[in-house]
Amino acid sequence: MTSRSGPVAPSAVAGPDSDSLDAMSGGSIPRHVAIIMDGNGRWAARRGLPRAAGHRAGAEAVRRALQAAADQGVEVLTIYAFSSENWRRSDEEVSDLTALMRFYLERELKTLEKEKVRLKLIGDYAAFGPELVSRLEKAVERTAGNTRLTLVIALNYGSRAEIAAAARKLAERTAAGELAAADIDEERIEGELQTRDLPPLDLLIRTSGEVRLSNFLLWQAAYAELLFLDIMWPDFDEHVFADALAQFAERQRRFGGR
Ligand code: FPP
């Protein structure tokens, strides 16, 4: 066991119940987990299936991830469903992804309500057109009072654009005389990000073996633990999630005693 600043490791006294394990790792359950859901296309190609089949299987993995996060007591799950760069894909694939989101929303709204999940959106999702936007906003409204878990779906999201928008907002406020340039600090910038009402990002997971952030939550990931998994997103399930949380707890434990 690694050393702690506390007098006695709680597990030595209390045994390995969940409270003591949590205390040992300095609060091992991450409050905010984000996922770059990568590998749908490769998952499909390996099975001789079209990319759309990979995305459909990916949507099922979203259900499992959501359930696992709720069951594990995570407060916020943020998923990268569509990046601002994804428009570069074929019209057919963009339309498959949009249709899938519409279908998922329709089918899962009841689940979100039943499981007390609040839906939140980040990104410039207006680009998806009035019909999907209205469905999305209706789902956000209908789940606004839920407190068990917040599911944040990043749609047409790009982190640099988010940071640029925050800078623009602060510049406008400065030009209007509401703010002095010297007042612009990290907290002010954070206060203009779309994630401003969320707890800090603790754990960022990317599947598919790619090791990069792809313009996702760049500011928010400054102190997050990063976990790159070799599995393709459609293979993600509650066991993978539990293992990811175990790895997070290990890392916290290693840096414990701060
Ligand atoms: C990356 O796989 C995945 C995406 C670009 C989209 C993620 C979308 C889903 C998981 C399904 C729909 C989401 C919701 C919220 C219902 P890729 O196509 O880049 O895979 P590849 O790198 O193997 O080609």
DSSP string, 208-230: TT----TTSSTTGGGG-EEEE-S
DSSP labels, 49-61: --HHHHHHHHHHH
Which residue in 148, 225, 231, 219 sits closest to 189, CA to CA?
Answer: 219
- pLDDT given at position 256: 55
Q: Are 102 and 134 in contact (CB under 8 A)?
A: no
H/E stretch holding 164 reads: helix 159-175
- pLDDT given at position 140: 97
**CB 100 near ligand 1, within 6 Å:** yes
Distance 90 CA to ligand 1 centre (A): 14
Catalytic residue among 22, 86, 124, 146: 86
Distance 12 CA to ligand 1 centre (A): 44
- pLDDT given at position 7: 30
Whether pTM > 0.85 for this model: the answer is: yes
**CB 58 near ligand 1, within 6 Å:** yes
User: What are the strands of the beta sheet with 203-206, ordered from one edge?
Assistant: 117-122, 149-157, 76-83, 32-36, 203-206, 225-228
- pLDDT given at position 19: 44
Task: Calculate the alpha carbon distances from 172 to 28, 46, 91 in Å.
Answer: 41, 50, 36
Minimum CA distance residue for ligand 1 atom 24: 41
Size of the chain in residues: 258
- pLDDT given at position 15: 34
Q: What is the pLDDT along the chain (258 residues), one digit of tens a residue?
A: 333 333 333 333 333 344 444 444 446 899 999 999 999 999 999 999 999 999 999 999 999 999 999 999 999 999 999 999 999 999 999 999 999 999 999 999 999 999 999 999 999 999 999 999 999 999 999 999 999 999 999 999 999 999 999 999 999 999 999 999 999 999 999 999 999 999 999 999 999 999 999 999 999 999 999 999 999 999 999 999 999 999 999 986 555 565
